[in-house]
A and B are shown apart, each in its own frame.
Chain A
Amino acid sequence: MSDISAPLPRPRSLVAETVRFYGMWIAVAVVLVALPQIFSSGGALTTFSLIGISIIFAMSYNILLGQTGMLSFGHAVYYGLGGFLAIHGMNMLAASKASVPLPLVPLIGALAGLTFALLLGWVSTRRSGTAFAMISLGVAELVSSSALILRSFFGGEAGITTNRTKLFHIFGWSFGPQIQIYYMVAAWTLLAVIAMYALTRTPLGRMCNAVRDNPERVQFVGYDPHVIRYMAFCFAGFFAGIAGGLSAINFEIANSAYLGAAQSGTALFAAYIGGIGLFIGPIVGAIFVTYLSLVLSDLTSVWQLYFGLIFISVVVFAPGGIAGLLMKHRLVVRAGMLLSVLKAYLVALVPTAAMLAGLVLAIEIIVRHTVNATGGPNINMFGMSLNSASPTVWLLSVGLVLAGYAIAHRTWAYVAHAWDHAATIAREKGYLA
């Protein structure tokens, strides 16, 4: 929605723009270097490493979904094959005593991802839309089932292992301690993110967006959408391979789960929950999803259910993802209406939170009575210990859900009203809606 009469943003000087742009990347680099100084525990470093890998994977996925409009259910194929090839590469390098240091190993993964994307991509990208989604799923099943048949290469159910410290040591780094792995992952993440950002600025990146928005017009201006989808697919495979290689280094093992549907789902969840419409979305999503899965899996045995529910809510209520949701508020902030919107949020927060708490309680009660019956009747929730066998607690959960919904329903209308009001004022002040 562009309005010609709208005021243009004030042009900043070229120098200021350049400083701002490079300053941002340098700031990110500084943060990445400084992070282990602030959170130095082993658990934190492992989490950061996982988040870094997840960021690359989710962003590579977004080259497909966000930038080219291809919904893939089989992106883990390139991640997994990258991981397997990286493990085999490490074993070979260690055996031959070649002077190739560990930080170059993700390149093996990247090339593996690229090679297989080149091989499988031409057939996969032949069709777009829903057909592509189904085909990507079929190809993923083909590869992950084959992995169980070709035992000598994929190691069957157990997978194959390696030892990352056996490689050539550079600068005296053995890459045994997690902190060294963290720095390597951080460096690769920064490099990959910069490369993927650069990719969006190339003519190819622009044509990808065009293929997403209107493939027919792309044909009119003389491009073949199939070729562009194929190229985007290859780049996505390349970066997924880097993530897979890093993951193989981090865990020192690769097994068939690397290639599976669940792994593909992780990339989809991270990218979509973060927001596929913005470059920063998958980064936000990867951090959120990785952190949440680590925290939730400690708290409850059905964390994946919560995950699915969060995903469904994002799809229905916030298709722009977390980043999209935040960006929407920029307009409100500019119009100086943030306070009134926040006030509406606060009003809605209480009943909505009560409803969600009731829902969580209901799920946990069911879990206690079915799969997790051995753990005793008590549920520890929100710092309280509730007896899942007592009808009072059942009534509490049902009451919370029903009453919460009844009240929350009205407050949502209030929020929508406050939003409309803020958006109207923003429009009057000349900011685009």
Chain B
Amino acid sequence: MFELIIISTLNGVLFGMLLFLMASGLTVIFSMLGVLNFAHSSFYMLGAFFGFQLSRWVGFWPALVIAPALAGLLGAAVERYGLRNAHKNGHVAELLFTFGFAFAIEEVVQMIWGKSPMDYRVPASLDFPAFTVFSTNYPAYKIFMLVVSVAIFAALLIAVKRTRIGLIVQAALTHPHMVGHLGHNVGRIFMLVFGFGTALAAVAGVIAGPALITQSNMASLLGPILFVVVVVGGLGSLPGAFIASLLIGLLQTFAVSMNGSLASVFGPLGPDHAFLSDIWDVTVAQIAPILPYLLMVLILMFRPMGLLGTRET
């Protein structure tokens, strides 16, 4: 039991930090540009596929740097040549543009790499157990993922709180027009933020690729959860996104490792009806995929703004 709690906590925090790598970019992009980047998880997927391809050509470590850079450049280009053109047609058009883009990316990835999972392996230098808890070996690669995401988180925190760029970004979160009036090139800031945010998502993709499955549906599997994180945390709130990421990471990881069901608790009282016995027999692990959405519905009922949100739309 104790073993399960330690492993699940580690995995949960890891998944949460990965979510936050993406949610932070999404939140900053949303706050500054006012557009929900539907294609954010597509950049995560591109990161994983670029990482896979580059690690075959040049090895994992260069890929860890090059793949996010490529994805970030693509992101910046999308903002500059796509989103900015769609912007004149309003926010709905922008959102739909990113929606169509996400759709097209998935098709392109399928076209190039096919639909089956890639053989994206953990680099040999990290392929050993880091430590053993009771009888479970915890892989070093997961520790590496945790270290990378925490390091990026710390660097972001310092960058946002202590540097001039961070100051401008912070100001643009709440008063984008004022920042423009103060003479900053808002267009260029937007492009940079978009590129940087998508690069962060790609970092998450590169490091998560070997541990999870690198497949052409990974974006559409993760995208909705990412939106749940942003809604639960509160639209446009970075601390909220952080809390929600960890919350959902832990929630899902713990749920997956539990096997209890209503039937196992109240065994003999089970109903006869087929439909009810479906609900009766389902295990906590089986409902793990829908838990984030249930959490979202509950949050919306009791706190429509999200945990730390202040904005209405």
Contacts and interface: CB of A to CB of B under 8 A. Distances in A.
B294 A142 contact: yes
B82 interface: yes
A131 interface: yes
A146 interface: yes
B256 interface: no
A142 B290 contact: yes
Q: Is the interface of A mostly helix, strand, loop or mixed?
A: helix
Contacts of B292: 138
Nearest to A74: B224
A129 B312 CA distance: 9
A150 interface: yes
B286 interface: yes
Nearest to B226: A134
A134 B36 CA distance: 9
A130 B36 contact: yes
A151 B104 CA distance: 32
Interface in A284-320: 302, 304-305, 307-309, 311-312, 315-316, 319
A314 to B, nearest CB: 8
B108 interface: yes
Contacts of B36: 130, 133-134
Interface string B102-117: 0110011011111000
Contacts of B296: 135, 138, 142
Max count, chain B CB within 10 A of own CB: residue among A131, A153, A307, A371: A131
Given A71-B96, A315-B86, A371-B111, A142 B230 contact: no
A138 B224 contact: yes
Given A123-B300, A312-B104, A370-B113, A149 B278 contact: yes
Interface in A367-406: 367, 370-371
B282 interface: yes
Interface in B88-122: 89-93, 95-97, 99-101, 103-104, 107-108, 110-114
A130 B290 contact: no
A304 B102 CA distance: 12
Interface string A268-295: 1000100000000000000000000000
B313 A149 contact: no
Max count, chain A CB within 10 A of own CB: residue among B82, B85, B111, B304: B111
B139 interface: no
Contacts of A142: 290, 293-294, 296-297
Interface string A117-132: 0000001001111110
Contacts of B97: 312, 315-316
Contact of B91 (A130, A150, A307, A367): A130
A41 interface: no
B89 A319 contact: yes
Nearest to A265: B103
A1 B123 CA distance: 62
Nearest to A140: B224
A145 B289 contact: yes
Max count, chain B CB within 10 A of own CB: residue among A130, A137, A311: A130
Interface string B256-270: 000000000000000
A272 B224 contact: no
B21 interface: no
Contacts of B235: 130-131
A139 interface: yes
A371 B231 contact: no
A362 to B, nearest CB: 11
B274 interface: yes
Contacts of A272: 96
B220 interface: yes
B153 interface: no
Contact of A123 (B99, B278, B290, B297): B297
B224 A153 contact: no
B186 to A, nearest CB: 20
Nearest to A301: B111
A134 B231 contact: yes
A31 interface: no
B103 A304 contact: yes
A366 interface: yes
A370 B114 contact: yes
Contacts of B93: 315-316, 319
A202 interface: no
A286 B191 CA distance: 35
A149 B287 contact: yes
Interface in A139-186: 139, 141-142, 145-146, 149-153
A130 B295 CA distance: 19
Given A130-B30, A370-B114, 17 more contacts: A69-B92, A134-B230, A134-B231, A135-B300, A138-B297, A139-B293, A141-B290, A150-B278, A152-B274, A265-B103, A312-B97, A312-B100, A315-B93, A316-B86, A316-B89, A367-B111, A371-B110
Interface of B: 30, 36, 82, 85-86, 89-93, 95-97, 99-101, 103-104, 107-108, 110-114, 220, 224, 227-228, 230-231, 235, 274-275, 277-279, 282, 286-287, 289-290, 292-294, 296-297, 300-301, 304, 312-313
Interface of A: 65, 69, 71, 73, 123, 126-131, 133-135, 137-139, 141-142, 145-146, 149-153, 261, 265, 268, 272, 302, 304-305, 307-309, 311-312, 315-316, 319, 363, 366-367, 370-371
22 contacts: A127-B312, A128-B313, A131-B231, A133-B36, A138-B224, A138-B231, A138-B292, A138-B293, A141-B224, A142-B290, A145-B289, A152-B275, A153-B275, A261-B224, A302-B110, A305-B107, A308-B101, A309-B104, A316-B89, A316-B97, A370-B113, A371-B114
